[in-house]
Amino acid sequence: MSNRPLANRTAFITGASSGLGLHFAHLLSDAGANVVLAARRTDRLEAAVTAIRANGGEALAVALDVTDVDAIGPAMDAAQAALGPISILVNNAGVSGDGAALSLPAAVFDQTFDVNVRGVFMAAREAAKRMLDSGVAAAGDARIVNIASIAGLTQLPGLTAYCASKAAVISLTQGLAREWAKRHIAVNAIAPGYIETEINADWFATDAGKAQIESFPRRRLMDGDALDQALLLLAGPAARFITGSIIAVDDGQSL
């Protein structure tokens, strides 16, 4: 098997300015894909694009807030004009929506669903339209990978809104997979456990965060590359018979 299984394919990654999204951009580039890094923080995107190009990859930065529905299509059009038809969408942009249900502000609840659910749906729909129009879907190369969470499979204290939003992502994944199966667009999701990221690093440095780690079966957080093989599988040619699947990569944390 080629060590560049995604050669000549273009991947569009949301939330790509930091954390998992940035890691995914480098991973898919190393696998041969042209990568489009989409996020709000364009200064970080440009630095990432420079690094990917220095490593021999093709990359493009596009400013995108996934809650701005009217901006998603034009961002994807710009990506395709520069790097070719989008074959892979990684719906990674997300917010945590922390807060106990009794005190959670309505604005935080709304933002959680705007980004984590509405943004995922709208990005998937715009990508699917272009996969159909370009012939990528007919060729069997259309892949949509949604980043869900074990929070969508279980309940985490103080994260009711977030859990509900990720459960919705799982439902959306399966619904779109069923609806688009005959159109040859594969839609799958990865449900990660806890990986130490920019978002949660401060929490896991606290006594309460350390206690949470001790409650996990293996008493550890996952490494930053924990999702690599699942993403490469779902984004690549080996996923031609996989759609509607939710792959939990959580080191047993949800047990």
Active site residues: 162
Instruction: Tell me the H-state helices in the chain.
Output: 19-30, 42-54, 69-83, 106-113, 119-134, 160-180, 201-204, 207-215, 228-235
Nearest-angstrom CA–CA distance, 79 and 38: 10
- What is the identity of the amino acid at 246? I
What would the two tokens of residue 177 be?
A: 């997979």
DSSP for 148-196 reads: --GGGTS--TT-HHHHHHHHHHHHHHHHHHHHHGGGTEEEEEEEE--B-
For the chain, report the end-to-end CA distance as a whole number of angstroms: 35
4 contact partners, CB below 8 Å, separation of at least 6: 31, 32
Nearest-angstrom CA–CA distance, 95 and 248: 19
